Structure 1
């Protein structure tokens, strides 16, 4: 598809000027001569250089990739219809909307923007992490950089020991059953062409343990809304509660990690900003 440089520039500028810093979790900053976000603020939210973004708005930028357009859609808090429009203006086919998607809707984005000081993340039903706050990255590591099947924590759990080592050995059986059960429930609900079914089909020949759990059809074990123990590489054992918010219009879940005030784990969560993973 051919890129519509004029249309893309106009659409980006229109959506940027419609957003205020508070809409995307940014402080108001110094007095602004015009409304909306600054170009450098959008570039920061999206993870691109200010020069790259500026050239897009000036109709002289490069042909953006699908990954770059997806990042722009998240940074500008676009709806699904707006995201699809952005892709077409950028000369790319709009992503499919079947089952599980990577697009985080504006409502969920507004919530997570207001949780910038809290470990929180958005995941889909296959265990792919779509978005994390900085404290969440400090707590569990950057889970958004994985590609392919490794995007799913369920896949990594059964194939990579490093994933399991972030949790006490006594909890491994519970996590394994929960990951298998979540995949089983999602694959049944979303069908054989879903992302969850893809992950499960890949795991069956690779992991005898997963294959055994898969046959049990146990979908009752959960990892959320309960106490979870994490082994942080610098802070050691941290006990957190994992609360969830389900987006009724999609299969995405917002996970928020908290700890009981006054406990050692609560103090450790407060120290996350000072440590690196």
Structure 2
């Protein structure tokens, strides 16, 4: 990898993205234009130290996941994203891989829903990006790495989330996720990362293996969910899932009925989360 060229490209693109365009507060006077390294770190879900080492050419061979995360955070166009992959010595993901690129339209949706919890997942339910209200509601996902960012993996191997479930609703969700994942593997049979995910789930979860082998049917759909927030308490929200035609992305949106106590609680959660991110 031409480490210096890669780092220069990241810094050049970082300096052209305004914090407002990335959905962040301007934060007072800045020595340089664009995003700070700390802000790029937050948006991409990688450490500030690693961003620094990449920009300075001291870190080599970033993973495809890191390059993809940087491309999303920097709002690169498709040609720029491909160029960043080439600078990293990697081939850009082809049509045989699960798409992970945020289209301009999806990015604009995120930009406009600044007070609504929104997260974008790929076809296999790997989290690509979550806005600050989503992180405030569901917990900060920036610390998750690798398969931890996949909702199927987390539901079977680390089901400690804030959504309240009965035994029946949990099983229904898991069944739907397995059915969805089976359909995705049929659409992208050459995706090696997807195959590794399925292999790990089959090896570590007897329930997943059983559901996978029996060919269960089902689909993940909109639902009324109760979120147990550690600071505000229980809040009942509508969870809607929008699928983006042509890019195979899932947009998850949480909303509350206007004028209700749940709407007030959601507004408080968002405000508390924003304060913690700024302060």
Pick closer, same or farther for the CA change 1:230–1:174 going to 2, 3 Å: farther
SS of the aligned residue for 1:227 comes to: strand
Aligned counterparts of 1:239 and 1:254: Cα–Cα separation in 2: 19
Partner of residue 136, structure 2:
138
Aligned counterparts of 1:199 and 1:121: Cα–Cα separation in 2: 21
Pick closer, same or farther for the CA change 1:185–1:71 going to 2, 3 Å: closer
Partner of residue 233, structure 1:
230
Alignment pair present for 1:271 and 2:268: yes
What is the aligned length? 263
Alignment pair present for 1:66 and 2:65: no
Unaligned runs of 5+ residues in structure 2 are 42-46
Partner of residue 13, structure 1:
12
Aligned counterparts of 2:62 and 2:234: Cα–Cα separation in 1: 39
- TM-score norm. by structure 1 comes to 0.76
Do the aligned partners of 2:242 and 2:252 also contact (CA within 8 Å) in 1? Answer: yes
Aligned-pair distance for 1:161? 4.2
More displaced, 69-78 or 129-138?
A: 69-78
Corresponding residue to 2:35 among 41, 56, 60: 41
Unaligned runs of 5+ residues in structure 1 are none
More displaced, 250-259 or 106-115?
A: 106-115
Aligned counterparts of 1:175 and 1:38: Cα–Cα separation in 2: 46
Deviations 1:151-203 (A, max 9, x none): 2121121122424x642235212222222222122122222645444323322
Aligned-pair distance for 1:42? 5.1
More displaced, 131-140 or 181-190?
A: 181-190
Aligned-pair distance for 1:8? 6.3
Corresponding residue to 1:257 among 251, 254, 259: 254
Deviations 1:27-77 (A, max 9, x none): 689899xxxx95352535412769x77x95xxx654565266444422321
How large is the Cα RMSD of the aligned pairs?
Answer: 3.5
Pick closer, same or farther for the CA change 1:142–1:28 going to 2, 3 Å: closer
Aligned counterparts of 2:128 and 2:157: Cα–Cα separation in 1: 20
Pick closer, same or farther for the CA change 1:70–1:194 going to 2, 3 Å: closer
- TM-score norm. by structure 2 comes to 0.76
Matches within 5 A, 1:1-277: 1-3=1-3, 5=5, 9=8, 13=12, 16-17=15-16, 23-25=21-23, 38-41=32-35, 43-47=37-41, 56=55, 62-63=58-59, 66=62, 69-89=67-87, 91-97=88-94, 98-163=96-161, 166-170=163-167, 171-191=169-189, 193=191, 195-222=193-220, 224-272=221-269, 273-274=271-272
Do the aligned partners of 1:120 and 1:257 also contact (CA within 8 Å) in 2? Answer: yes
Do the aligned partners of 2:152 and 2:177 also contact (CA within 8 Å) in 1? Answer: yes
Pick closer, same or farther for the CA change 1:127–1:145 going to 2, 3 Å: farther
Aligned-pair distance for 1:226? 2.6
